[in-house]
Amino acid sequence: MKLVVLACLAAVAVAAPQLQDNQPVVAILRDDRQDNGDGTFNYAFEADNGIAVEASGSPGSQGQSNIQGVYRFPLDDGTIAEVRYVADENGYRPESPLLPTPHSLPDHALAQIRFAEEQRALGVVFE
């Protein structure tokens, strides 16, 4: 019996979260949550390390949750990154100056697209 108790205590000690020397403890400054029970909700979370999240949601027309929100986190240079987003029946759409944008199409590709549109307008069909 003593061996079982000792084994359980050893298992608890091994499973306990271990803090790294270089990992500071993060304090939670704000944790507000509201669920209205009808599919609408709001939450806001903020930690002392600069991470913050806010979102609000409502039921969507196709059974999904429609959510609008923002999340922020500190960058290595000390500035704060911010991403605003909408998630609904049209998918997830983030907005931030940090997100990569596609390169513009070269002129020859734009010319080919215009030519194809002109042919479609004339009724040209390729089989």
Predicted confidence pLDDT, tens digits, the chain (127 residues): 566 666 666 666 666 666 667 778 889 999 999 999 998 999 999 999 999 999 999 998 888 889 999 999 999 999 999 999 999 999 999 999 988 888 888 999 999 999 999 999 999 887 7
Q: In what order do the strands lie in the sheet with 52-59?
A: 28-35, 41-47, 52-59, 65-74, 80-88, 91-95
Among 65, 121, 122, 118, which residue's Cα sits nearest to residue 88? 65
Question: b/e per residue, 70-82, with b = 16+ CB within 10 A?
Answer: bbeeeeeeeeeee
User: What does pTM read for this prediction?
Assistant: 0.61
